[in-house]
């Protein structure tokens, strides 16, 4: 759908706003646009961080049930594969992604939020996976839940379809910060600023490790970390960052020594 995703650049930060009010329900056009947007951003090194949020009163209440209702197995596979590819593009982005949860975050919307690296939520926001209540399982990023919150909590979310509040999600480690609704954007910007204060190349290396650590065993993960540490010294950032620390000044990441 034309205009279903609004993209706005503010320096090195890109805001991606789901713009299908009132609930920003996901459908094939918006899913495709989300994937294409993040694939394009991944190829643009001027993008250092992205923030995903929703227009109006919801982040996204998930998939449009009118789209889901009349699928057959072949079209269901096609739709969920497209959703997987879009969420994977967000998850694998070479820069950090913040989910600014301005309202309900349900179903595929919750999975999109889980694909992000950091999450800021409005107080009282509901997060959940209600798919079983309409006859389908939760898939894709839902596979991460047992590792993120433990098997019992994951099973409760997946088997009852009942949501949790942002406050409970914060206590479980799913949300980094809970703020009043009117401060969600400001809180996301402040969190982004803290990331942007760090070395750009180091952040890209760290983000790549975070993604790969989820996909490999511990021994391999440690070896990947050793490679990334050595790779950092192929850039000027360690020398500049440590010189700035010793000289008690802010680092200048464009500086070459």
173 & 123 share domain: yes
Q: Is residue 164 within 8 Å of 119, Cβ to Cβ?
A: no
CB-based contact 106:169 (threshold 8 Å): no
Single residue among 196, 213, 228 that ends a domain in this structure:
196
**Banded model confidence at residue 1, pLDDT cuts 50, 70, 90:** very low
Do 114 and 145 sit in the same domain of this protein?
yes
Find the CATH number of the domain harbouring 15.
3.90.226.10
The residue whose two tokens read 């000289």 is: 247
76 and 184 inside one domain: yes
In a domain, 97, yes or no: yes
**What is the domain range of residue 240?**
200-246
Query: Quick check: is 162 in a domain?
Result: yes
Instruction: Tell me, yes or no, whether 159 and 231 share the same domain.
Output: no
Domain assignment present for 20: yes
Residues 89 and 165 in one domain: yes
The confidence score (pLDDT) of residue 179 equals 98
Q: For 182-188, which contacts have Cβ atoms below 8 Å and span 24 or more sequence positions?
A: 184/53, 184/100, 184/101, 184/102, 184/120, 184/121, 184/122, 185/53, 185/100, 185/102, 187/100, 187/120, 188/51, 188/53, 188/98, 188/100, 188/120
Residue 85 lies in a domain: yes
pLDDT above 60: residue 2 = no
Q: What is the pLDDT of residue 218?
A: 87
Catalytic site residue from 27, 39, 78, 111? 111
Per the structure, how many domains does the chain have? 2
Closest CA to 97 of 143, 53, 161, 159: 53
Same domain, 96 and 119: yes
Is residue 40 located within the same domain as residue 155?
yes
Query: Does residue 99 lie within any of the structural domains?
Result: yes
Q: Within this chain, do residues 128 and 231 fall inside the same structural domain, yes or no? A: no
Co-location of 145 and 216 in the same domain: no
Band of residue 209 on the pLDDT scale cut at 50, 70, 90: very high
Q: Of 126, 16, 149, which is closest to residue 61 (Cα–Cα)?
A: 126
Catalytic, 237? Answer no
Q: Are 100 and 219 contained in the same domain?
A: no
Say what the pTM is.
0.94
In a domain, 255, yes or no: no
Domain shared by 77 and 53, yes or no = yes
Active site residue 177: no
pLDDT tens digit sequence for 35-84: 999 999 999 999 999 999 999 999 999 999 999 999 999 999 999 999 99
Output the domain CATH number for residue 221: 1.10.12
Burial (0-12, 13-18, 19+ Cβ within 10 Å), 100: buried
Is there a single domain that holds both residue 142 and residue 119?
yes
pLDDT of residue 145: 92
Catalytic residue among 36, 131, 177, 215: 131
């Amino acid at each position: 759908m034309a205009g279903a995703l609004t993209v706005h650049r503010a320096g090195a930060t890109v805001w991606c706003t789901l713009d299908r009010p009132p609930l920003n329900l996901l459908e094939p056009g918006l899913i495709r646009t989300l994937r294409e947007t993040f694939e394009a951003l991944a190829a643009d090194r001027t993008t250092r961080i992205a923030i995903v949020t929703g227009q109006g009163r919801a982040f996204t209440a998930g998939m449009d049930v009118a789209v889901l209702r009349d699928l057959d197995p072949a079209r269901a596979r096609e739709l969920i594969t497209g959703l997987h590819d879009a969420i994977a593009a967000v998850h694998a982005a070479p820069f950090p992604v913040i989910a600014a949860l301005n309202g309900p975050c349900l179903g595929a919307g919750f999975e999109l939020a889980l694909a992000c690296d950091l999450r800021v939520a409005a107080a009282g926001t509901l997060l959940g996976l209600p798919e079983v209540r309409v006859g389908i399982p939760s898939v894709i990023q839902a596979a991460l839940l047992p590792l993120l919150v433990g098997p019992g909590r994951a099973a409760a979310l997946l088997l009852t379809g009942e949501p949790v509040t942002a406050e409970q999600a914060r206590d479980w480690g799913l949300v980094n910060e809970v703020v009043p609704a009117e401060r969600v954007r400001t809180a996301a910007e402040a969190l982004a600023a803290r990331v942007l204060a760090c070395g750009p190349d180091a952040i890209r290396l760290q983000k790549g490790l975070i993604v790969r650590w989820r996909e490999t065993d511990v021994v391999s993960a440690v070896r990947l970390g050793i490679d990334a540490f050595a790779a950092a010294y192929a850039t000027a950032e360690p020398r500049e960052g440590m010189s700035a620390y010793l000289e008690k000044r802010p680092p200048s990441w464009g500086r070459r020594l």
